[in-house]
Structure 1
Amino acid sequence: MLKEFREYIEQNGLIKGNEKILLAVSGGIDSMVMTDLFIRAGKETGIAHCNFTLRGEESQADEEFVAKYAADHNISFFSVRFDTRTYATERGISIQMAARDLRYSWFEKTRKKEGFDLIAVAHNLNDNIETFLINLARGTGITGLSGIRKTRERVIRPLLFASRKSIEDYSRNNGIAYREDSSNADTGYTRNKIRHLVLPLLTEINPSVENALNDTSKRLSDINEIFTAFTGSLQEKLIRKDKSFLVVNLEKLNPFITNNAVMFEFFRPFGVTSPVLNDLMNIISGQTGIEIRTGSHRIIKNRNELIISEIAPGQNISWNYNTAGELSGSPVISSVRELTITDSYRIPAAGNTACLDREKITFPLTIRNWQHGDFFFPLGMQHRKKLSDFFTDIKASLIIKENTLVLVSDDKIAWVMGKRIDDRFKVTDKTRKVLEIKMKP
């Protein structure tokens, strides 16, 4: 198996040169065999262990077992304990999803802090097959049927070539100790249902079902590379970034709307799943203003466009600035200049820059969210207008409205930021000094 291990790493370019590898080691058979193989391959490694505190004394014994192994083999050891149940409850996610989030986040922090190049996890060929069947049962696109990836960013999976049986044989033949996780027998978990109940039935139909499913997953992975390149180029052509959100051109997307496979992969990065896809198709053909929310994004129909924004906790902004210098340090401001008017001065045409009569500005200035009931005198108008009506006039989408800030001087809106200044603060032929404020893009 050591020969296959080395060949798999080399053929797939998992490790380059003398890169240092942080091994994710639970103490189970897969991770202990992986650790042994790395030691025999002569790679520089460290061991990282997560204690999820889900199995009481058993979890504690796992941690002690891995710590002793690291000490016996003179390998750097790093460990952490998580209150996994509380984390899952607070976020409304499953224990399995919570554990996954926690471990990968901690692995990456540890990798950076301790100077490792890569993180190695011990998924094997059978894990890949189980993932394929789980995704198939739940409904997925071609990516979900492509199996577990060999690499993802700094994470490598050097055991994907090895079946569970070959790992068990290697452990037995080389006297590798490991810890049994009692939860692996619990068929209350979806993966264990597949492993202990579904696969044995499929094996009765085809004794070589594991090889057949693995080969199918590989072929789909190859197809997915081509398909991903296609949808990626489509995204580049049809999606433009506009500040904090993305805009999809529906007229250009129209030739592909009837192709569910293309639509699924096109919108998958924005949290669109199989059940959500039908809702997405409905808003595409629906009226302006209707929206859907995925687990991670909000998608709104706006005339011939879709506006996509990440879902983030609501933020009430109200920042006060006592001087122009303080204002220049605002997280949404790129520059502030106080200028004396000269014959050569020209007001910038860019909408993200406001030129205000300095003598009409009273500090402190406030940058805040706009509020219902707010009004101002749009540049060029002598009567006031509610901001809600102004947004209607300029055909602002819901996303734009929600993300618009206002600059307030002495309880008067001087600038609807990025949109229009107030006529009362405009530069005139009597203006001697200008306060020029530029927003960050």
Structure 2
Amino acid sequence: MTSVARRYAKDLRTTPAPDALRAPVVLMVSGGADSTALLLLACTSTLDIADGRGEAHIARERLHVLHVNHGLRGLDAEEDEEFVRGLAERWGVPVTVRSVDVPALADARPGESFEQVAREVRYAEAAALADRLCEEWGTPRSAARIVTAHTADDRAETFFMNAVRGTGARGLSSIPRVRGRIVRPLLELRHRDLCDLLRMHGIVWREDETNQDVRYLRNHVRHRLLPVAAEENPRVVEAVASTVEIVSDEDAYLTSVAMRAYREVTRTSEEGLRVLDANRLAAMDVAIARRVARSALLDVAPTMRLEAQHVNALLELVAAGEGSFTAPLGVDVSVQYGTLRIKGRDAEKAFAGWLEVPGALDLGDGRSLVASLVPVAPADNAPALARAHGLEHEGLSVMLDAEACGVAPEGGRLWVDAPKAGDVLCPLGMHGQSKRVSELLAEARVPARERSRVPMVRTGPTGAAVWVVGVRADERARVTPGTRAVALLTLVDERGR
């Protein structure tokens, strides 16, 4: 979020940390007019790279040029590369060139456009270069800056592109000035102004012929849509820039609210898996719920090409209280018994779900939990049976009081997921004393790398734990002389281990 003081102050500066003044500044230079002007300005003038100094000179030794050859346009691309090398040498700035076969990558990633893949490649290469330079120079990664040459024209084009495709506030915010380490100091300048600057200095630049191909949406917007809009308002680019600033500020505020809400409704958070409280999500204001849904989907599959229809489909399930669908990249989305479960296709090790009693739950790795409900006759010595059963099955099967587990007298369901930080159990045999689950796993000599694979059986997503599978049951769910029904839980491992 941006305060009024920060947004409207004419010259708001802070004292940067010492590391911020010596960390690397990676300039992304393609050889076109805008990026050539960026290199010129970085070497000869002042730029605001969001390091707390406002408009200021950047020490020449901090600069490093990155050029990415996308493996397209053949000889022209090679000439672009040589041009950038020459520019960097002229200004005495080190240059790194990366060649990536983007067409091959795009072919291997169906559903993603060439432009999207190329953009991801460029930023990934920039991040890797910034990290390497920080390591060599002994500066924190967060202090590095990756600087792009996006202009007001780019911002307006992106605004219209996203509007044409259909988008929300995030898309209408277009290109942000700062995102993490990425900084765009030329957003208030027009492309034509940068071209005039280069001509004034007698500097030529490279022209990419594909920029004239209106089959690409950006070029269609640039050469056909924006000129029509300019007939109505010659200052349409500036008007869009003003709109974008407003939408961006409001989007940042709503995002901060949504992230708090997201944390509050999240019940399980593992790589490739999110489980949310569907009832609380259904009760949210729809503007916040959409953002929570979007964040959860992208946390599970960051490269998903997410569209409004996918967010709406998820929220329709939440409103209905049950159902499922498959989102892009094979992400499974389902709602059942008040929980929303989002699981990625490759999240084989992630598990969380309801165990019906009686019934079974597949843990997704060759193991499953099986539950049954067993009545206890008055003449039976239920505690003795439970002890003998536990010894016989070496902790991989357990008898618990069904009523204490909330599944008596006719059955019900238990929640199964992985241990969470701060989980506490009252271990059976310790007479009500509590102990951290992490300590129990350590005492049981479960290797640290395998602890996230130990199932925890709970009365609900936020309920009490009743069994750390294979380790210990909870004292509060023990079988007593008064037990009238037993929940029999068994871990079945078909992997032969």
Q: Deviations over 1:19-45 (max 9, x none)?
A: 431111101100000000000134231
CA distance in 1, matches of 2:336, 2:236: 48
Match of 1:241 among 260, 268, 273: 268
Correspondence for 1:101:
120
- State how far apart, in whole Å, the 1-side matches of 2:454 and 2:347 are: 20
Other structure's SS at 2:169 match: coil
Which residue of the partner structure matches residue 78 of structure 1?
96
TM superposition shift of 1:424: 13
Which deviations, in whole Å up to 9, do the C-alpha atoms of 1:348-389 show, x marking residues without a partner? xxxxxxxxxxxxxxxxxxx992257999872128xxxxxxxx
Conserved? CA contact 1:280–1:292, under 8 Å: no
Give matches, 1:60-209, under 5 Å: 60-92=78-110, 93-115=112-134, 117-209=144-236
Q: 2:337 aligns with which of 295, 303, 316?
A: 303
Q: Which residue of 1 aligns with 2:37?
A: 33
Amino acid at match of 2:313: D
Deviation at 1:215, TM superposition (A): 1.0
Deviation digits for residues 412-431 of structure 1, max 9, x if unmatched? Answer: xxx974445889999xxxxx
Q: Tell me how far apart the structure 1 counterparts of residues 203 and 13 of structure 2 sit (CA, whole Å).
A: 26
Hey, what does 2:288 align to over in structure 1? Answer: 262
Name the residue aligned to 1:380: 399
- Once the two structures are TM-superposed, the CA of residue 136 in structure 1 deviates from its matched residue by 1.0
| Identity in percent | 25
Q: Is the 8 A contact 1:250 1:305 kept in 2?
A: yes
Partners of 1:195 and 1:372 in 2: CA distance: 56
Aligned to 1:339: none
Number of the residue aligned with 1:230: 257
Whether 1:22 and 2:23 are equivalent positions in the alignment is no
Give the whole-Å Cα distance in 1 for the aligned partners of 2:145 and 2:74: 30
Pairs within 5 Å for 1:271-420: 271=298, 273-286=307-320, 288=322, 290-295=324-329, 297-309=331-343, 311-313=344-346, 315=348, 369-371=365-367, 378-380=397-399, 394-396=413-415, 417-419=455-457
Alpha-carbon distance in structure 1 between the residues aligned to 2:13 and 2:174: 16
Amino acid of the structure 2 residue aligned with 1:300: S
User: Within 2, Cα distance between the matches of 1:63 and 1:165?
Assistant: 23
Change (3 A) 1:9 1:76: farther
Instruction: Return the alpha-carbon distance in structure 2 between the equivalents of residues 424 and 233 of structure 1.
Output: 34
The AA in structure 2 aligned to 1:264 is R
Query: Aligned partners of 1:231 and 1:373: how far apart in 2?
Result: 35
**CA–CA distance in 1 between the matches of 2:184 and 2:240?**
19
Report if aligned partners of 2:334, 2:341 keep a CA contact under 8 Å in 1. Answer: yes
Aligned partner of 1:202: which letter? A
Q: Deviations over 1:241-268 (max 9, x none)?
A: 35453332233233335x3x33322222
C-alpha displacement of 1:111: 1.1
8 A contact 1:379–1:421 mirrored in 2: no
CA 289–68 in structure 1, closer or farther in 2 if over 3 Å, else same: same
2-structure distance, mates of 1:296, 1:202 = 40
Query: What is the Cα deviation at residue 229 of structure 1?
Result: 2.2
Question: Per-residue CA shift, 1:379-408, capped at 9, x if unaligned?
Answer: 128xxxxxxxxxx964457x88xxxxxxxx
Mapped partners of 1:14, 1:132: distance in 2 = 34
Alpha-carbon separation, structure 2, partners of 1:424 and 1:273: 44
Q: Deviations over 1:154-185 (max 9, x none)?
A: 11111111111211111111212211111111
C-alpha distance in structure 2 between counterparts of 1:54 and 1:12, whole Å: 43
Between the two proteins, the alignment pairs up a number of residues equal to 345
- 8 Å CA contact 1:30–1:167 kept in 2: the answer is yes
Q: Classify 1:97/1:372 alpha carbon distance in 2 versus 1 (closer, same or farther; 3 Å).
A: same
- CA, structure 1 residues 170+241, in 2 after alignment: closer, same or farther (shift >3 Å)? same
Seen in structure 2, the aligned counterparts of structure 1 residues 176 and 291 have a Cα distance that, compared at 3 Å, is: same
- Please say if residues 169 and 251 of structure 2, whose CA atoms lie closer than 8 Å, have aligned partners that are also in contact: yes
- Which stretch of structure 1 is more off in the superposition, 59-68 or 279-288? 279-288
CA distance in 2: counterparts of 1:197 and 1:123, whole angstroms: 20
Amino acid at match of 1:50: V
CA distance in 1, matches of 2:469, 2:229: 71
Report SS of the residue matched to 1:143: helix
Residue 68 of structure 2 corresponds to residue 50 of structure 1:
yes
Aligned-partner SS, 1:78:
strand
Distance 2:323 2:91 in 1: 62
How has the CA–CA distance of structure 1 residues 30 and 107 changed in structure 2, closer, same or farther, with 3 Å as cutoff?
Answer: same
RMSD: 3.6
Deviation at 1:89, TM superposition (A): 0.5
Find the residue that maps to 2:172 and give its secondary structure: coil
Alpha-carbon distance between aligned partners in 1 of 2:235 and 2:310, rounded to the nearest angstrom: 35
Tell me the distance in 1 between the aligned counterparts of 2:367 and 2:278: 31
The letter for the 2-side match of 1:369 is: D
Q: Is residue 9–residue 158 contact of structure 1 (8 Å, CA) maintained in 2?
A: no
- Shifted more, 238-247 versus 66-75: the winner is 238-247
Using structure 2 for the length normalisation, give the TM-score.
0.62
**Contact 1:231–1:266 (CA<8 Å) still a contact in 2?**
yes
TM-aligned CA distance change 1:424 to 1:96, over 3 Å:
closer
CA distance in 1, matches of 2:226, 2:283: 40
Distance 1:13 1:153 in 2: 18
Work out the CA distance in 1 between the residues paired with 2:186 and 2:316.
43
Find the aligned partners of 2:72 and 2:252 in 1 and give their Cα distance: 38
Q: Which residue identity lines up with residue 225 of structure 1 in the other structure?
A: A
CA distance in structure 1 between the partners assigned to 2:364 and 2:190 by the alignment: 58
- 3-state SS of the aligned residue for 1:91? coil
The structure-2 alpha-carbon separation of the partners of 1:234 and 1:296, relative to structure 1 and needing over 3 Å to count, comes to farther
